[in-house]
């Protein structure tokens, strides 16, 4: 598998109870854009610009791209870790306000210890809270 390609998973973030990695929630479109947690960007430049403005989901995607060296960005795990930490702060605020998608993304960060201290218990609670807000479709 080409490491430069982010997995095409995110069928529905709410329907996926336990993903393995943060990048599993980022989907690359055939047109070259990206999607994550119900948000879409036409290109990496837009993701980077929104990330710089502090938009938590854009920061999460930007961190994934840096961590993977995808989207034309040079792999930079140290910068990715910083962005994951900043994204976690913003995602926590969204999660506290009841945003189920933010809860799922934040759970992945806790699962992996990406930008936050690894905490499986906290990740499980976030997923359970997200399912209560937006149950998986059957």
Tell me: pLDDT of 64 over 90. yes
Q: Is residue 43 part of a domain?
A: yes
pTM value > 0.85: no
- Overall number of domains in the chain: 1
The arithmetic mean of pLDDT across residues 30-52, rounded, is 81
Q: Which domain holds residue 62?
A: 13-133
* Averaged confidence pLDDT in the chain: 80
Q: Is residue 5 part of a domain?
A: no
pLDDT at 120: 96
The arithmetic mean of pLDDT across residues 128-132, rounded, is 93
Give the helix ranges, DSSP H, for the chain.
44-52, 56-68, 77-96, 100-112, 120-133
Q: Is residue 83 part of a domain?
A: yes
Q: Is residue 110 part of a domain?
A: yes
Q: Is residue 1 part of a domain?
A: no
Greater confidence (44 vs 89) lies with: 89
The arithmetic mean of pLDDT across residues 14-41, rounded, is 61
Q: Is residue 45 part of a domain?
A: yes
β-pair type (39-41, 27-28): unpaired
Q: Is residue 3 part of a domain?
A: no
């Amino acid at each position: 598998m080409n490491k430069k390609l982010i997995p095409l998973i995110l069928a529905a973030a709410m329907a996926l109870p336990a993903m393995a990695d943060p990048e599993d929630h980022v989907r690359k479109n055939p047109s070259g854009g990206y999607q994550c947690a119900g948000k879409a960007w036409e290109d990496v430049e837009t993701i980077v610009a929104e990330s710089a403005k502090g938009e938590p989901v854009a920061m999460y995607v930007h961190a994934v791209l840096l961590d993977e060296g995808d989207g034309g960005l040079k792999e930079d795990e140290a910068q990715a870790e910083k962005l994951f930490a900043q994204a976690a702060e913003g995602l926590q605020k969204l999660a506290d306000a009841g945003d189920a998608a933010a809860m799922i993304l934040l759970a992945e960060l806790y699962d992996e210890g990406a930008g936050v201290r690894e905490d499986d218990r906290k990740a499980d609670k976030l997923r359970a809270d997200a399912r209560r807000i937006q149950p998986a479709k059957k």
